[in-house]
């Protein structure tokens, strides 16, 4: 793992700082980018860290610029990290005609099928390489980390959080792809990144993983808009995840929010609740 970080931009925000970085990634075999919000409390002492995973077509900038999350991160004293959603660069393979696969659509899996396996190792990047960089270069309490995300990133947050309770104490999601093995987005991504063996896919499906990784002491929060067109198209399937949680005795709060769609007006309306959810858990003695 390389520890070379290059600061590309920074902005004062709610008495803290929004910072953008790029670095050479040995996991993804290319340059990767992420943003960090350093809250004012970090000037005095290490703080808990919260990772946000964005959705299809997004970069490290969308959530950072649109969600209004820094206000709440400053209030609760959390360092907020938002990585890019896929490898980038001229040497990275892409599906040019597909917005839901390839660049901007890494699906937070470790690809095993060629040519994607040379770069698309987003699961290991989120779980291992990125936290190691954050822990080495920022004033964080490395044993107090949480993870949340939106849409494809909600899927990633559920998967990474469920499979790694030792690394992520808290989990939440906004309109996640909650059962990707049963929806068109997930079937397309998994068949290309992981091959045709559906047994391999289950390692990246939250509705399957909760059967093994349910934790009665860890509450998961999910918000879902009722006017979300992707909900109507059966891409998200929160009801499948809800049933799986009930059967596995996994504590879940699934809030169906009337009238809200899939975009950043929805995210910005509830991101404060999610940051409070994580802060309550991460600051617990």
The active-site residue out of 25, 110, 228, 278 is 228
207 tagged catalytic: no
The torsion defined by the Cα of 38, 44, 48 and 50, in degrees rounded to 10, comes to: -10
97 tagged catalytic: no
151 tagged catalytic: yes
The active-site residue out of 35, 54, 86, 151 is 151
Residue 119, burial from CB neighbour count under 10 angstroms (0-12, 13-18, 19+): buried
Q: Among 182, 185, 227, which Cα is nearest to 206's?
A: 182
Q: Among 212, 207, 233, 208, which Cα is nearest to 222's?
A: 207
The active-site residue out of 262, 274, 277, 278 is 262
12 vs 203: CA distance, rounded Å: 40
Tally of CA atoms within 13 A in the half-sphere of 156 that contains its CB: 32
214 CA to centre of own chain: 19
Residue 102, burial from CB neighbour count under 10 angstroms (0-12, 13-18, 19+): buried
Give me the phi and psi of 183, to 5 degrees please. Answer: -130, 155
Active site residues: 151, 228, 262
């Amino acid at each position: 793992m390389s520890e070379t970080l290059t600061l590309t931009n920074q902005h004062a925000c709610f008495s803290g700082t929004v910072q953008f970085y790029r670095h050479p990634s040995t996991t993804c075999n290319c340059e990767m980018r992420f943003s960090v919000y350093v809250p004012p409390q970090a000037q005095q002492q290490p703080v808990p860290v919260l990772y946000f995973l964005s959705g299809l077509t997004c970069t490290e900038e969308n959530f950072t610029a649109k969600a209004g999350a820094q206000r709440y991160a400053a209030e609760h004293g959390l360092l907020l990290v938002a990585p890019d959603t896929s490898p980038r660069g001229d040497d990275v393979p892409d599906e040019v005609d597909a917005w839901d696969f390839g660049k901007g659509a890494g699906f937070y899996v470790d690809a095993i099928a060629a040519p994607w396996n040379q770069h698309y190792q987003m699961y290991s990047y989120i779980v291992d390489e990125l936290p190691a960089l954050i822990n080495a270069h920022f004033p964080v309490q490395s044993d107090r980390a949480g993870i949340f995300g939106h849409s494809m990133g909600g899927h990633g947050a559920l998967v990474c959080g469920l499979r790694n309770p030792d690394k992520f104490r808290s989990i939440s999601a906004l309109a996640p792809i909650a059962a990707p093995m049963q929806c068109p987005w997930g079937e397309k991504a998994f068949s290309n990144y992981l091959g045709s063996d559906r047994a391999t896919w289950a390692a990246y499906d939250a509705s399957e993983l909760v059967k093994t990784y349910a934790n009665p002491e860890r509450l998961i929060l999910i918000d879902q808009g009722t006017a979300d067109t992707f909900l109507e198209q059966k891409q998200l399937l929160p009801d499948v995840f809800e049933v799986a949680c009930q059967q596995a005795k996994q504590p879940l709060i699934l809030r169906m929010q009337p009238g809200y769609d899939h975009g950043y007006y929805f995210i910005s309306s509830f991101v404060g609740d999610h940051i409070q959810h994580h802060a309550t858990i991460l600051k617990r003695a």
